[in-house]
């Protein structure tokens, strides 16, 4: 006797076992997240088989844990194939979302003394300092490496740290790094040592012992994409496809508003005030910036929302195009969009990243007569020194300041 899960999804027999009543809602849950019919069918079959196995084992719904999913894959007659484990993870996540099974309690894996300190520092950054996830990801390995360098596998006593430990670690490590990674290393180390002093584990200001990485202020010129290249890039995008409609709106927001990639991917539906024609952006350190919404950007976003955005409960404006359908989990997704679009358009851009659009807008504003203060306000800079680097972009104005070459004919 067949069992209809959905109009186009049928099982040869009704599901049995403790999860049987959740099979249909699970299929709907998968559909809401954008999984295709083939993927949904495989995951529903896996859920039905798992439920039947649980019933044969005499297990109730309240008994289910991640360990049972692993045991089921080992007990089955056929060999596990790609996607089987993920299907069971999705099923367990769905059951937890319905409060049908308990949240998984992480096993006590007895973290090493170094890991205990790294975890405590991470909690401090996240809960007390509210730092961005990307910042924590950058800082964590530096602290882990420093503690391993000083204490190895033994007990960690931060009170034993000395300035000599700090300087030797930095000298040994940064010699193998480029400038950007070297600065991240020293910044992370200062942050950790300040945290250790805040906790009372360290009484002296060891953060001051971290050597300074030479980085001359305003030593470089921002690598900005030109206005013509931006126009070519936007014109190359096929806006008749859902992905192209989304990519066009995101890139236009980068180019016209000078947003950071994180500000684009975290933009929410409630951040756009269509009546006032404003967009509310949450920048670094939670700083909120209200910007006028240009007509072309608003039209591009509205076009995406009306025609191409998948039906989804997420409040994010821009969603992934692959299942599970949700907002971007980080900035890498938008970076991939930029690289793919530049390559398709055949544009030899200054970089492959998103920041070139921000630099491009600032450069165009400067050439149009905007002051550094006005540029900084649009870009959300808190300090004028951050914007000062764009003064070097106006090469024509700088040439008027150049002294004549000695001996040059008058």
Which residues are part of the catalytic machinery?
260, 284, 355, 358, 381, 390
Contact present, 384 and 373 (Cβ < 8 Å): yes
Side-chain-side CA neighbours of 403 within 13 Å: the count stands at 3
Residue 255: Cβ within 10 Å count: 23
Task: Pull the structure tokens for residue 58.
Answer: 């005499």
Contact present, 150 and 124 (Cβ < 8 Å): no
Cis-peptide, bond into residue 279, ω within 30° of zero: no
Nearest residue to 325 via CA among 51, 72, 31: 31
Nearest residue to 211 via CA among 176, 179, 178, 163: 163
Total residues belonging to the chain: 410
Task: Pull the structure tokens for residue 391.
Answer: 């003064």
Contact present, 147 and 158 (Cβ < 8 Å): no
């Amino acid at each position: 006797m067949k069992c209809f899960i959905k109009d186009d999804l049928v099982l040869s027999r009704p599901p049995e076992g403790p999860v049987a009543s959740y099979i249909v809602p699970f299929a709907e849950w998968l559909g809401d997240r954008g999984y295709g019919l083939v993927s949904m069918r495989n995951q529903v079959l896996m859920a039905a088989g798992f439920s039947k196995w649980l019933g044969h084992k005499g297990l109730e719904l309240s008994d289910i844990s991640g360990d049972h999913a692993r045991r089921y894959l080992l007990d089955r007659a056929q060999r596990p194939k790609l996607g089987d484990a993920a299907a069971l993870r999705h099923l367990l996540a769905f059951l937890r979302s319905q409060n049908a099974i308990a949240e998984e309690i992480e096993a006590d894996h007895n973290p090493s003394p170094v890991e205990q300190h790294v975890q405590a520092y991470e909690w401090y950054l996240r809960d007390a300092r509210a730092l961005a996830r990307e910042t924590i990801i950058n800082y964590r390995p530096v602290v882990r490496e420093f503690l391993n360098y000083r204490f190895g596998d033994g007990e960690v006593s931060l009170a034993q740290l000395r300035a000599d430990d700090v300087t030797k670690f930095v000298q040994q490590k940064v010699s193998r790094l480029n400038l950007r990674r070297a600065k991240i290393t020293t910044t992370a180390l200062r942050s950790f040592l300040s945290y250790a002093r805040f906790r009372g584990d360290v009484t002296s200001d060891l953060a001051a012992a971290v050597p300074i990485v030479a980085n001359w202020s305003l030593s470089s010129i921002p690598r900005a994409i030109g206005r013509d290249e931006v126009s070519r890039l936007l014109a190359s995008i096929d806006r008749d496809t859902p992905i192209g409609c989304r990519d066009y709106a995101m890139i236009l927001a980068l180019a016209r508003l000078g947003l950071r990639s994180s500000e684009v991917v975290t933009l929410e539906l409630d951040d756009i005030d269509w009546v006032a024609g404003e967009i509310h952006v949450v920048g670094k350190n939670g700083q909120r910036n209200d910007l006028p919404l240009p007509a072309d950007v608003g039209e591009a976003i509205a076009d995406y929302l009306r025609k191409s955005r998948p039906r989804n409960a997420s409040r994010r404006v821009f969603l992934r195009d692959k299942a599970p359908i949700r907002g971007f989990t980080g900035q890498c997704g938008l970076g991939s969009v930029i690289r793919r679009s530049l390559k398709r358009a055949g544009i030899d851009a200054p970089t492959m990243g998103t920041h070139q659009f921000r630099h491009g807008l600032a450069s165009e504003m400067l050439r149009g007569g905007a002051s550094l203060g006005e540029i900084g306000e649009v870009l959300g800079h808190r300090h004028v020194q951050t914007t000062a680097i764009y003064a070097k972009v106006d090469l024509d104005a700088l040439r008027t300041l150049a002294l004549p070459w000695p001996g040059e004919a008058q």
